[in-house]
A and B are shown apart, each in its own frame.
Chain A
């Protein structure tokens, strides 16, 4: 019964995504073509393509993940391997607060502390650093639960053999926790691609291909937001870019969806 309900929920979600994708594709049909994915945007983005913006999105999201993943992994390993204590509870609370903070606040904090405080202004680097901070709570909470699940049986079994605890975490728990860690990274990359508020206030709305990290650059989500809100006559282009964003997000989450559907099919 539970399996049928879960399958129904998954298929309802798939239908919803397909309907949304179809709607966006129809509304943005006038702009969508193969060239749209490589051409540079013209007249504030209402014409031309999104080529540079796609590359900029890759640079900003990829760099943020490259920075955030090792920090989050170190933090979550230290948290998972550490004993109970006030510091540990405080860390967990901080992560929960970080998860629930609106993106707009991350953007404002990034703009004032990194953009203003460090003098980086509206730049890709300000966006990358802000996005890194925003991704940390998402990654750390995901990593912690993945590590805890893997450590449950492994830790006592390895300790009973006299294997030093740090070796247990690095050589036994970490490899076993790979699926959970990957799920957290995919989730974070999806969120990073979809974030508009924080990056709008930090990385700005530049549409040219990034020549350096000190330049302003909009990601695809920011581009959609800008076309829909700021640019007159940008609705059609916004729908077309939103369709690409949806496809990109689904492609990023595809391994996760496949893994969960396999888990649902495999016997318990």
Chain B
């Protein structure tokens, strides 16, 4: 479904991502893990062309984003897709959740009707309830006219997930979906992610080790020499985090807190 082959991304000719090769095909939960600022979110934005680089290196007259290598979705290069059509197939929940308008309907029914002008209000409402169910929010609300001000942070985040599902995407990308949530809300969002991953590939950017360990697959990005982030670990969480003690991914997963010499997981426990 999504395939990157020796893909490198540059900004003003400085490497950001380097020689990435991976494929994500069937349903499952894939975590993209790495240190802050290493390029995880950038990779998501490349996937659905929120960043639109030009092929081959930029020159002095045309600075900005450029790339080498290849990237495909559904057998077609990303560049060949119509940007909006691609983004409807690869849903993306941004790092900072932002809800629109005044009610749930503004975020679901209205968005669906803007994506597809032929859909009736009744059809859009039916789909909205289905998406709310997938995002585990349907039982917590009474109606689509519920005002947004009454939602908690976790509910807002799940509403953003439901809104991304309203376009019926084939793949769903979530950029640090729990970074601003308390443990209860985090647990609810993580359960939602796992349920959604039964039907489609779900890609989640995170630097929470516990969250990454709960995924089916981990891609570990590392920008060691400042020469762009590379994938230095690709496999199950156990293979990436626990096998090679000399690897950066092992050190990342087992980093000791300064408080009492505990690992992050131990601190959390």
Convert A138-178 into 0s and 1s, putting 1 for each residue whose CB lies closer than 8 angstroms to a CB of B: 00000000000000011011111111100100011001000
Given A161-B167, A162-B87, A167-B114, is A172 in contact with B100 using a C-beta cutoff of 8 Å? yes
Cβ contact within 8 Å between A162 and B85: yes
Closest Cβ neighbor of A84 among chain B residues: B64
Q: Are B98 and A161 in contact (CB under 8 A)?
A: no
User: Which residue in B85, B96, B101, B115 is a CB contact (below 8 Å) of A161?
Assistant: B115
CA gap between A164 and B111 in the complex, in Å: 11
Interchain nearest-CB distance for A184 vs B (Å):
22
- Chain B residue nearest to A157 (CB atoms) is B98
Separation of A171 and B86 alpha carbons in the complex (Å): 21
Query: With A154-B100, A164-B84 as given contacts, are A159 and B115 in contact (CB-CB < 8 Å)?
Result: no
**16 CB-based A-B contacts, threshold 8 Å:** A153-B96, A153-B98, A156-B50, A157-B94, A157-B98, A157-B100, A159-B87, A160-B48, A160-B87, A160-B94, A161-B167, A162-B84, A162-B167, A164-B84, A167-B114, A172-B100
Q: Count the A residues whose beta carbon is within 8 Å of the partner chain — how many?
A: 15
Closest-CB distance, A155 to chain B (whole angstroms): 10
In the assembled complex, the CB of A209 is this many whole angstroms from the nearest CB of chain B, namely 45
What is B's interface to A at a CB cutoff of 8 Å? 48, 50, 84-88, 91-94, 96, 98, 100-101, 110-111, 114-115, 163-164, 166-167
Q: Which residues of chain B come closer than 8 Å to A153, judged between CB atoms?
A: 96, 98
A168, B86: Cα distance in complex, Å:
17
Chain B contacts of A154 at CB under 8 A?
98, 100
* Across-interface contacts of A159 in B (CB, < 8 A): 50, 87
> Do the beta carbons of A161 and B111 come within 8 Å of each other?
yes
**How distant is A147 from chain B, measured CB to nearest CB, in Å?**
16
Would you give the shortest CB distance from A166 to chain B, in whole angstroms?
11
A residues near B85, Cβ cutoff 8 Å: 162
B98–A162 contact, CB under 8 A?
no
B255 to chain A, nearest CB (A): 31
Query: Of A156, A157, A159, which is in contact with the most chain B CB atoms at under 10 Å from its CB?
Result: A157
Kindly state the separation between the CA atoms of A32 and B85 in the bound complex, as whole angstroms. 67
Find chain B residues with CB under 8 A from A171 CB.
110, 114
Q: Please indicate which of the listed interface residues A157, A158, A162, A175 has the most CB atoms of chain B within 10 Å of its own CB.
A: A162
Complex Cα spacing A164 to B116, Å: 11
Q: Give every chain B residue within 8 A of A160 (Cβ-Cβ).
A: 48, 50, 87, 91-94, 164
Q: Once the chains are docked, how many angstroms separate the CA of A163 from the CA of B48?
A: 13
- Residue of A159, A160, A171 most packed against chain B (CB within 10 A): A160
Contacts of B84 in A (CB 8 A): 162-164
Given A159-B87, A163-B84, 13 other A-B contacts at CB below 8 A? A153-B98, A154-B100, A156-B50, A160-B48, A160-B164, A161-B91, A161-B92, A161-B164, A161-B167, A162-B115, A163-B114, A163-B115, A171-B114
**Is the pair B94, A156 in contact by a Cβ cutoff of 8 Å?**
yes
In the complex, which residues 206-227 of chain A have their Cβ closer than 8 Å to any Cβ of chain B? Answer: none
- Distance between Cα atoms of A162 and B91 in the complex (Å): 8
